[in-house]
Amino acid sequence: MPARLIDTLATTGPLADLFADDSLLQAMLDFEVALARAEARLGIVPADAADAIRAAAKAGNFDAAALARQTLRGGTPGIPLAKALTAKVRAANAEAARWVHWGATSQDVADTGLMLLLKRAQPILTADLSRLEAALERLSDQHRNTVMLGRTLLQAAPPVTFGLKAAGWLAAIRRSRLWLEDAFQDALILQFGGASGTLAALGEKGFEVGRAMAKELGLGFPDAPWHAHRDRLASLVAACGVLTGTLGKMARDISLLMQSEVGEAAEPEGEGRGGSSTMPQKRNPIASALTLAAANRVPGLVAAFLAGMVQEHERGVGGWQAEWPTVAGVIQSTGLAIASMAEAAEGLEIDAEQMRANIEATGGSVFAEKAAMLLAAKLGRDAALELVGEAARRSEEEGRTLKEVLGEIPEVARALGSRALRDLETPEKYLGAAEELRKRLLVSEGREGSKPRKR
C-alpha cells in the first residue's frame, strides 16, 4: 500500500507498506496463530482448533476500517481483533472458536504485533545504513587530499579536507548504528503475560507457552511480561532520535555547501529531483531537506514516548495507548533520513576547484592563526597577535592577501623568512593531523560487520 499523500515526506515506500493496515493486522494475527500452535503442542488446546485459527487468521479476511472504528471504542485493537477472529473461526469450526486468544490479554496482541513490525523494519534500516556507510567511506578516501575551508560558527576558519569531514559523518553514523543494533536486540521480545502479567490463566504452563511462541515468532523471550515497563522500547526510540540527529547534521552540512554563493557540493540529479516549480535553474538539496525535516520531527516524538513511560501499576492508562503512532512515526522518519542520506552520499558531487577558490577568496585571513603561531615562537605571543591582527585589518581594507601585508613588515619578514612567507597560504601545509584523524575515524568502533556492544 503506498503512503498516504500527507505522509509522503515522512516515510519511504517499504516502511509505508510495513506500517500499513494489512501488515499490522497480519502481525497481530500471527501472534494469535503462534499462541494457538504453542498451546496445541503443549496439549492445552486441541490441534484442530489451532489449525482452524491458523486458517482464519489472514488479514484479507478482516475489515481493517471496521476494526479501527471498534478499536477507538475499545481503547485497544486486541479486543475487536479477538472478537472478529473468533467469529471467523466459529464460521468454520464452532468448537475451535472457544480456544481463540486463550490465556492472553489484548495488550499482548498489540505489543507483540508491534514487535513483529519492528523486527521487519530493522533490515530495511540496516540495508540503507550499509549503503550510506559504504558511500561515505568511498568519499572520504577519494577526497582525502581535497582541501576546503574549515568553518566555525559559520565563519571561515583554517583549512580541513573534505575527506576528514566525510569521515566525521561516517564515524558518528557508525556509533549511532551500533547503539541502534543494541537497542533492537534488547527490544525485539515477546509480550505475553495475560490479564495482570502473571500468566495465571495458563497455570504452570505459561512459561512453556511463552517460550514456544517466542521461538515461532523469532522474538526474544523476556524474564517477565513488560506491559507497564517501556524502557527497552524507549531505548530503541531514543537510539533512532540520536541517529536521525546525526544524519541531520550531515544534511545541514551538505545543504550549506550547496548554497549558490558556496557551491562546493551538490546532491545527485535525477528525474523530478531538486527542481523548482518556477525557477528552472535550481538544484535544490532535496535529500537534505527530507532528512532535516525528519530531524526536526523525531525529537518531539522521542519526547512524547518518554513522557508516556510513566505508566500505572500493571497496565497503563493513556501512555501505552499513545505509543503506536509515536513509534511508527519515529521508525518511518528515521528510515526516510537514512535512505535520503544514502542516496545523497552515493551521488554527491564535490567541486574541489571551488573549495580551493573559496579558500583563496579569504585573502589568506584563514591563515592568521598559522602566522601568529610562527611569529609567537620568535617574538612572543602578545607581539605576534598584535602584528598579525594589524596585518589582517590592513589586508581586508586594502584588498590584498595577508602574506603580502605581512611581508612588508620588516620585523615579520626577518622573523619568518621568505620561505615561510611564501608557503603561508598553502592549504596543504596547514592541515595538521587531518589525515591521521581521518584514518582513525575510518577504523573507529562500529565498522560494518562489528559486533554490537553489550551495555
Spell out the residues 6+ positions from residue 287 whose beta carbon is closer than 8 angstroms to its own.
Answer: 251, 254, 267, 340, 341, 343, 344
Between the CA of residue 75 and those of 23, 69, 110, 111, what are the distances in Å? 20, 10, 11, 14
Q: Taking a C-beta distance cutoff of 8 angstroms, is the pair 131, 342 a contact?
A: yes
- Choose among 1, 52, 53: nearest CA to 22: 1
Which residue among 98, 120, 273, 315 is the active-site one?
A: 315
List the grid coordinates of 302.
Answer: 522521542
Q: Taking a C-beta distance cutoff of 8 angstroms, is the pair 220, 230 a contact?
A: no
Neighbours of 268 (CB within 10 A): 16
Rounded distance, CA 8 to CA 251, Å?
19
Which residue among 4, 69, 276, 422 is the active-site one?
A: 276
- Choose among 229, 18, 239: nearest CA to 114: 18
Rounded distance, CA 148 to CA 111, Å?
50
Residue burial 286-301, b: 16+ Cβ < 10 Å; e: rest: bbbbbbbbbbebbeeb
Say if strands 265-266 and 349-350 run parallel, antiparallel, or are unpaired.
antiparallel
276 noted as active-site residue: yes
Give the catalytic positions in this structure.
276, 315
